[in-house]
Structure 1
Amino acid sequence: MESAATRLAEVDANIARMCKIARRKREDVTLIAVSKTHPTERIAPLLEAGHRVFGENRVQEAQGKWPELREAYPDAELHLIGQLQSNKAEDAVDMFDCIHALDRMSLLKALAKAMDKAGKRVPCFVQVNIGDEDQKGGCPISEVPEFIGKVRDADIPVAGLMCLPPAVIEPAPFFALLAKLADDNGVEGLSMGMSGDYETAVQLGATHVRVGTALFGARS
């Protein structure tokens, strides 16, 4: 099996290659290592290899793993990339440096209240239901401008837009649409692209790619 450092170098080289093709700077793309479902002993080698930005899907799982890891690596940065229940808002604000799935008013109100209580502001990506899929979370495309305005009114920093394209369709048009939505609404961040399509996402403007399998191998 490849070492964590080798896999990290491969993914990083792929990102750098796509940045060069798109005439972008490598430092403009943040690689989020998606460590969901992986135990601390699988995460530690990536930390040892120098990587510092990680993503988790569930608040409770992160609470079980990251206090120990952050004690050893206090400069580690943790992103919540999965759906967030409103009743977990306080825990999310306490645990994470960035939230990628702000998609509805109930969650917006819960996060604003939690941030006010904690005396801190956590940057949030607005998740867009880019493929208009009933089974997926995300703000409807038509409501994105109004929702971004409400997020700003709540004094929550808008990190950008996030999407999960439909699984069985070529993702490039959806990435391009998200980039246009971001440009139209004056936001810069684009959280898009996973292990199977992060290279395409980088070429189309992704500022944050969420890569799990390519770094950790298949989940058990």
Structure 2
Amino acid sequence: MSDTVTRLAATQAEIARMTRDFEREPDSVTLIAVSKTMPAEVILPALEAGQRAFGENYVQEAKAKWPGLRERFPDAQVHMIGPLQSNKAREAVELFDAIHSLDRESLAKELAREIARTGRAPTLFVQVNTGDEPQKGGVSPAEIDAFLELCRVRHGLVIDGLMCIPPADQPPSPHFALLAKIAARHGLRGLSMGMSADFEAAIQLGATHVRVGSAIFGARS
């Protein structure tokens, strides 16, 4: 058994334990194995072990890896979890099953155009910059209500949930709680929050998708 498969099994077991501890349904949390920068041969053992949701940060990298992998595993789902340029919206809609980083109107407009053109509608998460960090993407909590209305009413997008990446120098739980509060206010079920170091807190506070990379694939070079 490869190290990747061993770590994947341990992560899956941890998530199963947490859902029991926090009295959640066993299938209420989707594990996204963050495979960015990992070559296809490193991802393959996870696919063979049954993992089906993966996260990528870059359109070009995903285009190079996933068509071949999907020939063997057509039910694999690829999630765009990194910043997405508006001019990559066409490729993103064609390639990804979910986009977690919708955060500005220009991108909403292009995604709506491509969804209408192709008839293919990825699951959409709006990224919220819960810490209002200037160097980080995402919509400010002060502006999220207006942005969600704009996406839904002006551009006709179906928004499935919210995503956040808490500031690295702050406890994550208040940020996860804020994201859950905003989602509840807007009737959104999806909460993409929690990574390798903090997914337990995220699951406790309602995460439906956790994005785990190094705990599965090891440290990136």
TM-score, length basis structure 1: 0.97
SS of aligned partner of 2:55: strand
2:182 — aligned with what?
Answer: 181
Q: Does 1:59 align with 2:59?
A: yes
Please state if 1:29 is matched with 2:29: yes
Alignment of 1:204-215 (within 5 A): 204-215=205-216
Return the letter of the residue paired with 1:179: A
The number of equivalent residue pairs is 220
Q: CA deviation at 1:137?
A: 0.5
Partner of 2:71: 71
Query: Alignment partner of 1:158: what SS?
Result: coil
- Secondary structure at the counterpart of residue 78 of structure 1: strand
Query: Is the contact between residue 121 and residue 156 of structure 1 (CA under 8 Å) also seen in structure 2?
Result: no
- Mapping of 1:106-117 within 5 angstroms? 106-117=106-117
Matches within 5 A, 1:129-148: 129-148=129-148
The answer for the alignment partner of 2:198 in structure 1 is 197
Structure 2: distance between partners of 1:53 and 1:170: 27
Structure 1 window deviating more from structure 2 (129-138 vs 112-121): it is 112-121
Answer yes or no: is 1:89 the counterpart of 2:89.
yes
Q: Please show how residues 160-175 of structure 1 align to structure 2 within 5 Å.
A: 160-175=161-176
CA deviation after TM superposition for structure 1 residue 2, in Å: 5.7
Secondary structure of the residue aligned to 2:54 is strand
Q: Give the CA RMSD over aligned residues.
A: 1.1
- Preserved CA contact (<8 Å) 1:128 1:162: yes
Deviation at 1:213, TM superposition (A): 0.2
Please give the alpha-carbon distance, in whole angstroms, between the structure 2 residues aligned to 1:88 and 1:55. Answer: 17
Structure 2: gaps of 5 or more residues: none
What amino acid is aligned across from residue 33 of structure 1 in structure 2?
A
1:184 to partner: Cα distance = 1.0
Q: Deviations over 1:126-184 (max 9, x none)?
A: 00010010000001101111211222222322120000000011101110111111111
TM-score, normalising length from structure 2? 0.97
Alpha-carbon distance in 2 for matches of 1:126, 1:161:
5
Equivalent position of 2:9 in the other structure: 9
In the alignment, what sits opposite 1:19? Answer: 19
| Residue aligned with 1:165, SS | coil
Counterpart in 2 of 1:119? 119
Tell whether the 8 Å contact from 1:122 to 1:157 is kept in structure 2 after alignment.
no
Percent identity for Structure 1 against Structure 2:
58
The answer to whether the 8 A contact 2:2-2:45 is kept is no
Instruction: Please tell me whether the aligned partners of residues 55 and 78 of structure 2 are also in contact (alpha carbons under 8 angstroms).
Output: yes
Deviation at 1:22, TM superposition (A): 1.3
Equivalent residue, structure 2, for 1:100: 100
Alignment partner of 2:143: what SS? helix
State the Cα deviation string for residues 162-208 of structure 1 (Å, max 9, x = none). Answer: 00000011101110111111111111100000011111111110000
Residues 94 and 120 in structure 2, CA contact (< 8 A), matched pair in contact too: no
Distance 2:178 2:166 in 1: 10
Asked if the contact 1:122–1:156 (Cα under 8 Å) also holds between the matched residues in 2, the reply is no
